[in-house]
Chains A and B, each alone.
Chain A
Amino acid sequence: MKGIITVVGKDSVGIIAKVCTYLAEEKINILDISQTIVSGFFNMMMIIDLSASAHKFEKVENDLIALGKDIGVDIRLQREDIFNSMHRI
């Protein structure tokens, strides 16, 4: 299953490192990553593959939300299907 991670918040050192470390530990592969800074705000999107992860989607989602709170940014994980449905015919 593919998921989309979005990270939004105030820019600081090590945001991508911390998210990627967590994903590596969970055996979640990153398929695509893009990032911009808009007026000091960090804005990142990742497309990830969860199929090798041992944990349920819900656990990964909650872990990422908790990680976001630690770093001070807003992290969301959503299944890719919602974006495909909305933007692709």
Chain B
Amino acid sequence: MITHHEVLETNEMIQHENLDVRTITMGISLMDCMDSDTEKLKTKIYDKITKSAKDLVKTGDDIGNEFGVPIVNKRISVTPISLVTSGHGQSACVQVAQVLDKAAKEVGVNFVGGYSALVQKGSTKGDIDLVRSIPEALSTTERVCSSVNVGTSRNGINMNAVRKMGEIIKEMAYLTRENNAMACAKFVVFCNAVEDNPFMAGAFHGVGERDRVINVGVSGPGVVKAALESVRGADFETLCETVKKTAFKITRVGQLVALEASKRLGVPFGIIDLSLAPTPAIGDSIAEIFHEMGLEHAGAPGTTAALAILNDNVKKGGVMASSYVGGLSGAFIPVSEDHGMIDAVNAGALSLEKLEAMTCVCSVGLDMIAIPGDTPASTISGIIADEMAIGMVNNKTTAVRIIPVLGANVGDTVEFGGLLGYAPIMPVNKFSCEAFIKRGGRIPAPIHSFKN
């Protein structure tokens, strides 16, 4: 029988430590919507999404009420759209984005991910059409998220695509210049993208997946921080054990919610994504965990080690708590979505270079980083190339979601609102990489032997 103490502990996590299930994401394959007629294609996509996900939001809310744990987001991921619109041309891609937006609004989800292309080795005409359409698609829709996979450990890095990414990010920043470059916050560039990620902006429903699937992303940085408060000053063994046990508990809640959602919606359960995802709320921050571990600010020497400990032990605890773990599964270190990270940047403790180093030991990469609007496209491509190289060589997923805000300079702060938070403009290394990026072509796959 459950004890009074256990009930109190769970409810303390929910009420005071921001324990929640961050997202239930329904993956929906759009492969069977393909049609040579663009209008028919659009109708099929709209119908399939609205039919499949019509009860998603209500079911999520019901489960949240019954278990007493908030389920913050209900979302949809779809087949990479470049595959579905192949042959229809660039303007048809934008129309499909608008259909996705309309379908998302109809079923009440706050984001739909999968306006994506996988071009790690090269691009088809369909991929090129989609990539070119991304700025217009994201600036004329509200809830559509987009991603492009430009590299993998098996294929190397498509540097033509990397060059293009810098250009389209600048274009998006210009098109949404009145709105703090909001389109860039809905776009992410990946190396080793995963097919079952429930988190935005990078979610898409991979081609290796079944027709529909329920993936769940758990969260809970506040719970980990609160648990660490009780072992302040203890050695690393105690620290690691505490993180592991907490991650186990958090993940079990996610697993329960996922199985229940799967049962009620009649859609198979896919995976739990074991990610610690912060929000701008006080007490829901990864940087606060670093502080509790003993660092004055995120970014101080020791931060990469602290993050490695956190990430590894979240996985160790979480893996046992769920039958299927997948997605990105790692601590997220977005700047704008974590008030402790923002404080660290403002205090001068955290630089872009330190963030890059931190991404070597965690998912998922440089996330929600605002930079000066006059940063050249080639420099943005250079930042992306560095991050992709880390992912390629280390066999892990890495990503870049970077926001050049026109008219803004170091010292300014931009507001994105809601879960996206606000961000101080971070300084970028001023030295040029233009000639390097201009080379074009492909970086060959790395060797995976001789591991020293």
Contacts and interface: CB of A to CB of B under 8 A. Distances in A.
A85 B65 CA distance: 16
A54 B133 CA distance: 55
Interface residues of B, number: 21
A27 interface: no
Contacts of A39: none
B26 interface: no
B2 A84 contact: yes
Interface in B236-259: 249, 252-253, 255-256
Given A4-B7, A6-B7, A76-B11, A81 B67 contact: yes
Nearest to A82: B67
A70 interface: no
B255 A85 contact: yes
B447 interface: no
A6 B7 CA distance: 8
A87 to B, nearest CB: 4
A85 B67 CA distance: 11
Most buried by A among B9, B62, B69, B256: B256
Nearest to A81: B256
B68 interface: yes
A34 B4 CA distance: 7
A36 B8 CA distance: 12
A83 B7 contact: yes
A48 to B, nearest CB: 12
A58 interface: yes
A79 interface: yes
Contacts of A86: 6, 10, 249, 252-253
B433 to A, nearest CB: 49
Interface residues of A, number: 23
A46 to B, nearest CB: 10
B2 A83 contact: yes
B252 A85 contact: yes
B66 interface: yes
A45 B7 contact: yes
Interface in B207-236: none
B120 to A, nearest CB: 38
Nearest to B320: A89
Contacts of B6: 83, 86-87
Interface in B1-49: 1-2, 4, 6-11
Nearest to A31: B1
Nearest to A36: B4
Contacts of A6: 7-8, 11
A88 to B, nearest CB: 8
Contacts of A87: 2, 6, 9-10, 249
B68 A76 contact: yes
Contacts of B256: 81-82, 85
A12 interface: no
A78 interface: yes
Nearest to A3: B66
Contacts of B66: 57-58, 61, 78-79
A80 interface: yes
A50 to B, nearest CB: 11
B61 to A, nearest CB: 10
Interface in B55-97: 62, 65-69
A43 B260 CA distance: 29
A32 interface: yes
A49 to B, nearest CB: 13
A7 to B, nearest CB: 11
A47 B8 CA distance: 13
Most buried by B among A32, A58, A84, A87: A87
Most buried by A among B67, B68, B69: B68
Nearest to A58: B65
A69 B67 CA distance: 20
B253 A82 contact: yes
Interface in A13-70: 32, 34, 36, 43, 45, 47, 57-58, 61
B252 A32 contact: no
A32 B1 contact: yes
Most buried by B among A36, A43, A78: A78
A82 B4 contact: no
Contacts of B260: 81
Contacts of A32: 1
7 contacts: A4-B2, A45-B4, A45-B8, A82-B68, A83-B7, A87-B9, A87-B249
Interface of A: 4, 6, 32, 34, 36, 43, 45, 47, 57-58, 61, 76-87
Interface of B: 1-2, 4, 6-11, 62, 65-69, 249, 252-253, 255-256, 260
Given A79-B67, A81-B256, A82-B10, 14 more contacts: A4-B2, A6-B7, A6-B11, A36-B4, A43-B8, A57-B66, A61-B65, A82-B67, A82-B68, A83-B2, A83-B7, A83-B10, A86-B10, A86-B253
